[in-house]
Amino acid sequence: MTPTLNRRSFLGNTTLLGAGLAASSVFAVNLPASTKKVKVGLIGCGGRGNGALADFTAACKILGIEVEVTATGDAFKDKAETAGQKYAVAAERCFGGFDSYHKVIASGCDYVLMATPPAFRPVHFAAAVEAGKHCFIEKPVAVDAAGARSVIATGEKAKAKGLAVVAGTQRRHMADYLRNKALIDAGAIGQIKGGVVQWNGTVPWTKRRNEGESDASYLARNWLNFTEMSGDHIVEQHVHNLDVAIWFLGRLPVTAVGFGGRARRQTGNMFDFFSVDYDFGDDVHIHSQCRQITGAYGRVGELFTGTEGVCYGGGKLKGKDVKVAEFKMDSENGMVQEHVDMIRSVITGKPLNDAKSIAESTLVAIMGRISAYTGEIVRWSDLVENDKSPFYNQLCAPAAIDFEKGDVKAPEEVPPVPGKA
C-alpha cells in the first residue's frame, strides 16, 4: 500500500493569503499593538544560524515589525558573542556550551530559531515547544528514525498549543515552485510517472582536529562530515530535493534501494556519493543522486516526467495549457519568505506547522542512507511502524544528550562498507 500525505490544494483556495503562501504585504501596516514587536532567540550561531537570523529580521522589516534579539547560544561561546554583537545583544545574554539552548529559550523570546547540527534538533525543538515558543527549525530535523519520529510527536504538541513551526525548506515558499506544484495538481503534465532529483556539488568545508581537542569539540566543529552529527549529505543537503519530490508527488515512497561510497573525503565517516531508487508505488520511481566531490560535474535540481509533459522543479514546465492563480510573494528570497509566512501565520491566528512534513522528508533521506550503508532494501514501514525491524531503533551515537552530560566519544573516521567480500 502506498503511504499518502495530507496535502493542501493550491487551486481556488481562498485561505492562501492567511496561510502566507502567496501574499502581498497586506499586514505590513495597521498591526495590532501586540504584534508591533517580536522577540527572537538564536540557537546555533554558525553560518546558517546567522543567515536565519538575518532572514528573520528581513521578514520583520517587510511586515513592519520591530525585532529584538533576546539571546544567542552556541556550543562555542565566541560564536554566540559574534552573532550577538551584530544585534546589540548584551554579552551576558550570549551563551556558550551544549546546554546553552536552555538559556536562550528562557531569555524571554517569542520565537526560537534552531540552526545547530541536525543531531541536536529533536531535543532543542522539544524544549522550545515545551516552553511555548514559535519555532523555526532548519532542515534536516534528525539524523536517525527515532529522532524524526520525536519531531513528529513534538509537532503535534506544538499544534495543540497553537504554536507555529516552520522548516528551512525554502522551495515550498518560492513562487516558481508553488506555481509548478499548482500546475501539476491541475493536470498540466498528467500523472507523474518518474523523475530524477539531484544535488551534485562539493564538500562545503572540512575541519581538522586540533592538538589536544576533546571529542565533543571536534565533532561539533566538524559536524558536517560525521553521520552522527549531520546524517550524511543525503540527509543534511539532498533532503531539499527529496522534499520537492514528496511534495510534488503528494505521497511518500514505499521502499528505497541504494548504494554509495567514499573516494575523496578526508575527514569524518560519511560517503562521497549516493544513488538511490525510491519506489513510490503504482510503478512510479524517483532516482535520487547526490555527490560531494570537487572537480566533478555539478547539478542541483529536480525533473519529473508525466504522462503528458515534464516539469523541471521550479523551472520550465512543458505540458497541457492550464491556468492557475498567480503567486505573489513578499520576497524573491525563499529563505526570507519562509519567515514572513511563519510570522504572518502567528499574527493571523493560523499558525503554520511543518513539523510532520519536514520530519517525513528527513525520514525519506534516512531511508536512502541506511540502504546505501547496509546494501539492504529499506521500507517506509521499517522506520515508522515495524518496531521489529533492525532499522526502527537504529540510533546514531553519540546523541545530543551525551554532549550535555560530557560523555562523548567520537566514532572512527571510516565509512560503512555494505555486503561481504
Domain with 53 in it: 16-116+164-172+331-352
Are 370 and 339 members of one domain?
no
* C-alpha dihedral sign at 17, 324, 197, 300: negative
Are 104 and 216 members of one domain?
no
Q: Residue 240 belongs to a domain with what CATH number?
A: 3.30.360.10
Q: What is the DSSP string of 150-178?
A: HHHHHHHHHHHHT--EEES-GGGG-HHHH
Residue at 73 is within a domain: yes
Are 22 and 95 members of one domain?
yes
Q: Please tell me the pTM assigned to this model.
A: 0.92
Q: pLDDT truncated to tens, each residue of the chain (421 aa)?
A: 444 443 333 233 323 333 334 333 333 334 455 568 999 999 999 999 999 999 999 999 999 999 999 999 999 999 999 999 999 999 999 999 999 999 999 999 999 999 999 999 999 999 999 999 999 999 999 999 999 999 999 999 999 999 999 999 999 999 999 999 999 999 999 999 999 999 999 999 999 999 999 999 999 999 999 999 999 999 999 999 999 999 999 999 999 999 999 999 999 999 999 999 999 999 999 999 999 999 999 999 999 999 999 999 999 999 999 999 999 999 999 999 999 999 999 999 999 999 999 999 999 999 999 999 999 999 999 999 999 999 999 999 999 999 999 989 999 999 999 999 8
Residue at 235 is within a domain: yes
Are 92 and 168 members of one domain?
yes
Residue at 145 is within a domain: no
SS3 420: coil
Residue at 75 is within a domain: yes
At 290, the amino acid letter reads: C
Are 205 and 280 members of one domain?
yes
Residue at 134 is within a domain: no
Are 380 and 348 members of one domain?
no
At 231, the amino acid letter reads: G
Are 300 and 216 members of one domain?
yes
Output the CA angle 182-185-190, nearest 5 degrees.
Answer: 125
Are 275 and 385 members of one domain?
yes
Are 67 and 44 members of one domain?
yes
How many structural domains does the chain have? Answer: 2
Are 201 and 83 members of one domain?
no
For 19, 44, 304, 341, the CA distances from 408, given in Å and listed in that order, are 42, 19, 43, 38
Are 341 and 371 members of one domain?
no
Residue at 133 is within a domain: no
Residue at 110 is within a domain: yes
